[in-house]
Amino acid sequence: MTASGFSVYDASAGSGKTYTLVKEYLKIILGHPSDDAFKAVLAITFTNKAAKEMKTRIVEALVSFVENNPENPSPLLVEVAKTLKKTPLSVKDKAYRVLRSLLHNYTAFEVSTIDTFTVKIIRTFANDLRLAQAFEIELDTDRLYQLAIDELLRDIGKDALMTDFLIEFVLQEIENDKNWDVSKQLFDVIKKLENENDQAHFAKLAEKTLPDFLKLIRLVSDKIKSSKTELKSKAQEALNLIEESGLVHSDFSRGSLPNYFLKIISNPSDITFTSVWQTEIETTSFYTKSQKEPIKSIIDDIRPKLIAYFNLTKQLVLSLRLCENIYKNIRPMAVLNKVNQHYKNLKAELQLVTLPEANSLIWEQVRNQPVPFIYERMGQRYKHFFIDEFQDTSQRQWQNLIPLLDHTLSNYDSQNQNGSVLLVGDAKQSIYRWRGGYPEQFIDLGNGKSPFPHSIPEKHALDTNYRSLFEIVDFNNRFFTHIASFLENEAYKNLYLNGNHQKSNGTDGGFVSIDFLTAKNETEREETYLPCILDRIREITNQGFQASDICILVRKRKYGTLIANHLIENGLQVISEENLLLSSNPETAFLVDWLKLLHQPKNSEVLLNLLEFWAFHRLGQDEDKHAFIASHLHFTGSELFQKLTNTTDLQTFERLKALSLYDCAEQLVSCFNLCKSPNAYVRFLLDEIHLFSIQNGSNLSEFLEWWEVKKEVLSLSASEAGNGIRIMTIHKSKGLEFPVVIYPYANLKYTENIDKQWIDLPDSVIQASLPDSIVQDSLTKGDGLGFETTRINFSQTFASDYPEFSDLLAERINKATLDNFNICYVAQTRAVEQLYILTDAKTNTEKTANTFSDLYISYLKEIGAWREDQSRYVFGKPGKTKSDKAQKEVCQDLWLNRNTQTQLVTIATKASRLWDSPQQEAIEKGNLLHLLLAEIHLIEDVPTAVEKAITEGWLDPKLKTEVLEKLQKVVLHPLLKVYFDSKVNVLNEQSLISANGELLRPDRIVINPENKVVLIDYKTGQKKPEYQAQIARYAQTLTEMGFKVEKSLLVYLGDEVEVV
């Protein structure tokens, strides 16, 4: 850390960001006199996955320090010891004490997401923030928005005005090639407006009703009509002047000026002002050099009046165009505002606080206080802060953190040491502006601007790329440095000029390929890109790469779908975002349809879905599927259930309704044998049903509503879905790496994505553009409407005609350009060994670059490689550089459906196993340890398992320390600790069925990266021969399932841990 305690790390792609965070964290907790300094450290990340990874890496580092041979210490241990000016042996001893303390106080080990931190503040200071006593934090805003939309749709047909507005909204969305489903349309749009900026504008419309919006519509409509009338009148006056002067239209250069006035009369909305004669109206000649007298003199005489008519009509056209723009957006804005009002009412009714609202509540408290009271207590606890992925922090989140961090940096502890703040990020990887990310904050900090009056940030650059091979690092360095010149904003330009000088990690090799494909439109693009992608995949696999080594990154999901379909048609296995969705799996859809039929027994559409699944997934090839469906369409739900499950009891189906939601779902899985082969989708759905039941109860109707909202987002991770070529959006790929990346459709205009814009009413910009507008005539002259803001369609084409919008337009273009450059940067820095870029051959005739294709061409020209007749360029040599990791054998997954009717797992069952003796005696015998070990997968799970046992009531808090010590003897045992490492997969108490039908349940099955199995079974009391026979049966069953059993260990849990 720096003398001021404020450090900023600029971490470009692949530069070891997490390693640096862990190293700096270790320096603080190992360099402090106390063994529990971690209690004063708060590390904030942006995803649960990142938080878990950082926590794991810290614990693993401490464990590795403890296990390190002082004579041959690890590089990290050496680096930390050197910085702390200590010997590796003393750091090893300190690490042991810190690790022991951390495991005993795991809940004080705080590495969490920023959202989790926000929730903690809200819960801690609920009374101070004047929240209702029974308030709940709502993380699932999607569900709330869907409920709000449902409320709105209930008014269709009842509220004529609402119905009219909705119809107009739907028609506009369809016109823009959007979905016909009004509910989905509303959801997609309202989700985009969830950020801080949009909510601030919605707050100004909070009290507006639909009649208010209707009045606004009428006022703007009247203004449009009057503008058109006045326009035509003035244009006709200009034409009359020309005619009365004895002139004809051909007397003017190209007839441009008279034709302009004629077009105003016929269609003023289509007028443009891009011609040279229009932009230079004051100096341009209205006639050609060959024009004769007296025509020239007559035109010169009336020239001032013609210019006046042009300027007046231009102002009126711009006024009209802006009014029409506002008019198109009033109804959609009214609909969205109504949804937003329903959303807020629901939150109030259910006493819910969402995360955006929580941030606003905190902001209201901190913005006007020098030392906000809600941070006084927290500032006394936390002395050191780490913030990861800072470029994704929103303005509100950062503003909320500043007072707390300032308090830390400005105050000194008993040892006269101030706190520290470490921020890590990379503005080039900021691709979430639409979600509130604001990279400009990180850019400002990198330029030395500090929000803390007494602390200037010390900047550090992590300048080595440990991910990619040399050719990829070199290409990206050169390419992104070159295109920096295309960024107009100086701060953005310097970001790319100075931020792309990464060193390679010393590993030579790597390969980059750029294909320029000829395509003038989407149809041609499909015909050229898809075959080229297939050719490149064949080229890659011929070099020895596996399908699972390849990831195809796309900007838009529609391209991913096109590619996936093409590859599947050509016999390739694909893992895409679409086929990772739970809803895409036939078995999960079948399970949900049965739940729907339980809820709506007469739903014929659901019945048909069930019959189609059975016909096409369960009937034999020779059976007539259509006849099966036709013959069962009249069945009731009970009759169909009886038929398909071969049960004789018609009441079995009805009895499902009496079960809890989760038990009902699990019983359906069992009845229809939906996991006769391992099915990760069904498992995941059952997990989600279980989680829903815990959080929301077992109401089937509410679950089905939740499912309709979540079915488009609930998906497996790619690792759970098996092997195949990955296809994902660039946004989903952030933070990941792949041996080979294919980046097709790298051809978009980099100034795109300018969409809607809020503008204030009244506003000097609007008033200047609309001298007689609705804003001045109506809204500001006491009519009582009082609209302060509205949305408009905002594009470069539209805004460029308005000088008043020039600054706003420039800002929007600059931000859109940076965001698109960043997306390109993220895509091109995911590859480890090979990168394939597919872009358009240059077809635009514009002189200035505006597409990524232009940028690639510009770079190739810069290095002297461009040839007009060449369509492919390569850097480096193709070929597989890195060796494969040991290939995993394909083994049968472990799965056992439990019988819901007979096996009920509750907390009480755990407690009942201890009823035969006092808890202290149970500890002696190992029974309690046995139960706790069933909850432990990794070393860091120990504190969590103990806390859970205390919370659930089957462990006396007084025994916490003793139990922790005994568990540590197990997980840190020299012969066992490797089996509690994060590098292995663990199955605790997983049921097996042997070939002869015997039910077996080993305590712990450990599967290492080579797919070899180690069996561990915990025992208490005296050693018995039957224990060896029992574990031998476990090993034999696993061997028959295709696993290679490497070891079988019996662990005796007594005063000391003995491994046999």
Residue 190: pLDDT band (50, 70, 90) is confident
Per residue, the 3-state secondary structure of 399-411, as one string, reads HHHHHHHHHHHHC
What's the average model confidence in pLDDT over 572-581?
84
Reported confidence tier of residue 839, pLDDT bands at 50, 70, 90? very high
Distance separating alpha carbons of residues 789 and 200, to the nearest angstrom: 10
Confirm if 928 and 1054 have CB atoms less than 8 A apart: no
> Could you count the other beta carbons within 10 Å of the beta carbon of residue 367?
12
* Residue 424 contacts residue 388 (beta carbons within 8 Å): yes
Does the pLDDT value for residue 731 go beyond 60? yes
- d(Cα 316, Cα 321) in Å, to the nearest integer? 8
Write out pLDDT tens, residues 60-79.
999 999 988 777 888 999 99
Q: Specify the pLDDT at position 22.
A: 95
pLDDT of residue 1014: 92
- Per-residue confidence (pLDDT) for residue 953, from 0 to 100: 66
- Predicted confidence at residue 905, as pLDDT, reads 36
Question: pLDDT over 90 for what percent of the chain?
Answer: 39
Start-to-end C-alpha separation, the chain: 48
**Residue range 987-1000: average pLDDT?**
73
Task: Please report which confidence band the pLDDT of residue 771 belongs to, taking 50, 70 and 90 as the band edges.
Answer: very low
The 3-state DSSP class for residue 706 equals helix
pTM of the model: 0.80
pLDDT at position 757, please?
86
Query: How much is the pLDDT for 595?
Result: 95
From the CA atom positions of the chain, what is the Rg in Å?
Answer: 34
- Look at 474 and 374; give whichever has higher pLDDT: 474
What pLDDT is attached to residue 782? Answer: 38
> How does residue 925 score in pLDDT terms, banded at 50, 70 and 90?
very low
Q: How confident is the model at residue 198 (pLDDT cuts 50, 70, 90)?
A: confident
Tell whether the model's pLDDT for residue 858 goes beyond 80.
yes
Most confident among 266-270, 373-377, 925-929 (mean pLDDT): 266-270
CA 987 centroid distance within chain: 29
- Locate 674 and state its tokens: 């939906």
pLDDT band at 799 (very low <50, low <70, confident <90, very high): confident
Mean pLDDT score across all residues of the chain = 85
Q: What gap in Å lies between CA 219 and CA 234, rounded to an integer? A: 22
847 pLDDT tier (thresholds 50, 70, 90): low
The answer to whether 799 and 318 have CB atoms below 8 angstroms apart is no
Residue 91 has pLDDT above 90, yes or no: yes
Is 70 exceeded by the pLDDT of residue 604? yes
Rounded CA-CA distance 758/767 in Å is: 15
> Residue 753 — pLDDT band, cuts 50, 70, 90?
low
User: In the chain, pLDDT over 70 holds for what percent of residues?
Assistant: 88
DSSP state for residue 412 in the 8-state scheme? B
Give the pLDDT of residue 185: 78
pLDDT at 915: 42
Band (pLDDT 50/70/90 cuts) for residue 459 is very high
Residue 762 — very low, low, confident or very high, per pLDDT cuts 50/70/90? low
Q: Which residues pair with 385 in a beta bridge?
A: 42, 421
Contact 480, 500 (CB under 8 A): yes
Q: What is the pLDDT of residue 512?
A: 98
CB 940 within 8 A of CB 980: no
Q: Are 535 and 496 in contact (CB under 8 A)?
A: no
Strands (E) located in 669-736: 725-729
Q: What is the pLDDT of residue 577?
A: 77
Report whether pLDDT(172) > 90.
no
* pLDDT at residue 178 in the model: 62
